[in-house]
Amino acid sequence: MSSRPNILFIMTDDHASQAMSCYGSRVNTTPNLDRIADEGVRFDHCYVTNSICTPSRATILTGTHNHVNRVTTLATHIDNRLPNVAKHLRAGGYQTAIIGKWHLGQGPRHWPTGFDFWSVLPGQGIYHDPVFYEMGERIVEPGYVTDVTTDKCLKWLDDRDREKPFFLMCHHKAPHRPWDPKPEHRSLYTDPIPTPDSYDDDYRNRARAAGEAHMRIASDMTYDDLDLVQLPESPGYTLGMGSHRFIPHPADDELAGFSLRCRNTGELFTFKTQAELKRFKYQRYMQKYLQCVHSVDENVGRLLDYLDEHGLRDNTLVIYTSDQGFYLGEHGWFDKRFIYEESFRMPFLVRYPGVAEGGTSCDAMVSNVDFAQTFLDVAGLPQPNYMQGRSITPLLEGAVPDDWTDLAYHRYWMNQDSVHNAYAHYGIRTHDYKLIYWYNDDCGEEGANPGSGPPEWELFDLRDDPLELCNVYHDPEYAEAVKIMTTKLEAEMLRIGDTPMHELQGAG
């Protein structure tokens, strides 16, 4: 067996750290994810460079920001002729595989390259009896997607060449919308689930983006998302409404007799107030989401058990992360996209026996652009100078280098997408502040629309306002903080080569 460590990279889709007990979840327990934290390092400030699926995956694979890899939106796909970390690892003697969600495009120019074996879900994939494209061939795998993805990883581990170290990317579809749990898990999480502190946010004292976004559980989450059907005799019923149309709720005084029926069980629910209905939708959303997470946790346990049983534990770096965070009722929302904390922050657990001390946490700023160089560093391979992150191995060893970055950068390129109406923006976060520039322009990018009005700045004082409810950008008391943060933002954009829209728009 090679002395170089194996790398097992487990990534889910839209799994927020608020739904992991090792991150202090108030809504569920995740004993197997907690095993990684107990035996490894929990990173408390890991951030995504662009809080949506496709761009995050491109950054992880290439070690570059989205303006460099050109995968800026959901509509832009990776050019698989570009170099990526799997190609470097493979050339360096690793056996490489990716199994599960890909979401970087399909076809000869977009399928995975650099992998000895690949078997990926087309597009978002589906939860039950999923289709996979395996080395280009379409196959249907019976079963529940999280189980099937793990089964395929275990089989690949069994079949692998044991003379080489391995790099395995296990990419789960779960818990992405539409939340469709395994039938055996549909009775879990029935107790009332507590709402987060910013659940009843009124979006005042903020730039326009928060109030304009169509991400509210109350008004933008469809009944179809929740396996519910609105009864035709109910007030507010809209004839011909599609399953993905947003359904306006009647006002409180028109709500008498408002009823929803569960599509699966036939159970009937009635409501007297908007608040009751909003609370009910949150409860249903969280139940389904957490049931999907439950299967993820079980299957992470199966992978960890395999490593234990096959003598691989001590020579395998294990990572658990998600392509970005997610709103679980914070600000009244579901979904992601924004630099606001809950969707910006990624869960990031690393178990590295013999190097990282178990049961520890790390406060240093890291991001998904650091992952590729970390893999190469761990493998003892050179880190190409086109990559834009930094290996986190010093942090795993328990030391934060003096010149380690004090910030994380985010840019969301889509503007006013047709479903969620999220505005284009960029910004940085330090431990104390978050500065955001809403440039509200499509920059000619595919998948985006102009027309969301003049740009705006936001500054949040994260020490006093960790929930990010009050923009202090225009408060004279924060003039110095604005100046410092703007200088940091401009230096970071210069360092990575991204375009400072605020200078182009004259809003510097």
Whichever of 368 and 416 has its CB closer to Ca ion, that residue is 368
Whichever of 37 and 53 has its CB closer to Ca ion, that residue is 53
Q: Cα–Cα distance between 221 and 232 in angstroms, integer?
A: 19
Stretch that binds Ca ion, among 309-317, 322-330, 393-401, 433-441 (CB under 5 A): 322-330
- For residue 52, the minimal CB distance to Ca ion (Å) is 6
Q: Cα–Cα distance between 241 and 302 in angstroms, integer?
A: 42
Judge whether 37 and 352 are in contact, CB under 8 Å: no
Whichever of 13 and 442 has its CB closer to Ca ion, that residue is 13
Whichever of 95 and 343 has its CB closer to Ca ion, that residue is 343
Q: 471 in the Ramachandran plot: left (φ > 0), alpha (ψ -120 to 50) or beta?
A: beta
- For residue 61, the minimal CB distance to Ca ion (Å) is 14
- For residue 324, the minimal CB distance to Ca ion (Å) is 5
Judge whether 340 and 325 are in contact, CB under 8 Å: no
Number of residues that bind Ca ion (CB under 5 A): 4
Judge whether 111 and 80 are in contact, CB under 8 Å: yes
- For residue 56, the minimal CB distance to Ca ion (Å) is 7
Whichever of 37 and 174 has its CB closer to Ca ion, that residue is 174
Stretch that binds Ca ion, among 12-20, 214-222, 310-318, 370-378 (CB under 5 A): 12-20
Whichever of 14 and 180 has its CB closer to Ca ion, that residue is 14
For residue 358, CA distances in Å to 41, 61, 125, 203, 354 come to 6, 27, 35, 40, 9
Packing angle of the helix pair 274-309, 31-39 (nearest 10 deg): 60
- For residue 293, the minimal CB distance to Ca ion (Å) is 14
For residue 386, CA distances in Å to 66, 98, 373 come to 13, 23, 11
- For residue 59, the minimal CB distance to Ca ion (Å) is 12
Radius of gyration of the chain, Cα coordinates, nearest whole angstrom: 23
Residue nearest to Ca ion (CB): 53
Our finding on whether 22 is near Ca ion (CB under 5 A) is no
- For residue 103, the minimal CB distance to Ca ion (Å) is 8
Host H or E run for residue 58: helix 53-62
Whichever of 56 and 230 has its CB closer to Ca ion, that residue is 56
Our finding on whether 14 is near Ca ion (CB under 5 A) is yes
Q: Cα–Cα distance between 306 and 309 in angstroms, integer?
A: 5
Q: Cα–Cα distance between 109 and 376 in angstroms, integer?
A: 25
Report which of 71, 151, 163 is spatially closest to residue 116, judged by C-alpha positions: 163
Stretch that binds Ca ion, among 80-88, 213-221, 223-231, 318-326 (CB under 5 A): 318-326
Q: Cα–Cα distance between 172 and 181 in angstroms, integer?
A: 13
Q: Cα–Cα distance between 410 and 402 in angstroms, integer?
A: 23
Whichever of 125 and 455 has its CB closer to Ca ion, that residue is 125
Tell me 369's DSSP state.
Answer: G
Per CB under 5 A, the list member of 298, 323, 417, 461 interacting with Ca ion is: 323
By CB under 5 A, the residues from 156 to 185 that bind Ca ion are: none
Stretch that binds Ca ion, among 47-55, 145-153, 275-283, 463-471 (CB under 5 A): 47-55
Stretch that binds Ca ion, among 6-14, 91-99, 145-153, 474-482 (CB under 5 A): 6-14
Whichever of 2 and 106 has its CB closer to Ca ion, that residue is 106
Whichever of 39 and 335 has its CB closer to Ca ion, that residue is 335
- For residue 434, the minimal CB distance to Ca ion (Å) is 21
- For residue 23, the minimal CB distance to Ca ion (Å) is 17
- For residue 270, the minimal CB distance to Ca ion (Å) is 35
Our finding on whether 441 is near Ca ion (CB under 5 A) is no
How many helices (H) and strands (E) the chain has is answered by: 13, 19
Query: Please, which residues have CB within 8 angstroms of residue 182's CB and are 6 or more apart in sequence?
Result: 144, 146, 147, 291, 295
- For residue 13, the minimal CB distance to Ca ion (Å) is 4
- For residue 291, the minimal CB distance to Ca ion (Å) is 18
Tell me 333's DSSP state.
Answer: B
Whichever of 173 and 294 has its CB closer to Ca ion, that residue is 173
SS3 string of 62-111? Answer: HCCCHHHHCCCCCCCCCCCCCCCHHHHHHHCCCEEEEEEECCCCCCCCCC
Query: Please, which residues have CB within 8 angstroms of residue 403's CB and are 6 or more apart in sequence?
Result: none
Whichever of 14 and 298 has its CB closer to Ca ion, that residue is 14
Whichever of 30 and 230 has its CB closer to Ca ion, that residue is 30
Per CB under 5 A, the list member of 13, 34, 330, 468 interacting with Ca ion is: 13
Q: Cα–Cα distance between 16 and 233 in angstroms, integer?
A: 38
Stretch that binds Ca ion, among 5-13, 210-218, 229-237, 485-493 (CB under 5 A): 5-13
Judge whether 97 and 167 are in contact, CB under 8 Å: yes
Which x/- pattern, by CB under 5 A, does the window 50-89 give for Ca ion?
A: ---x------------------------------------
Which residues contact Ca ion (rule: CB under 5 A)?
Answer: 13-14, 53, 323
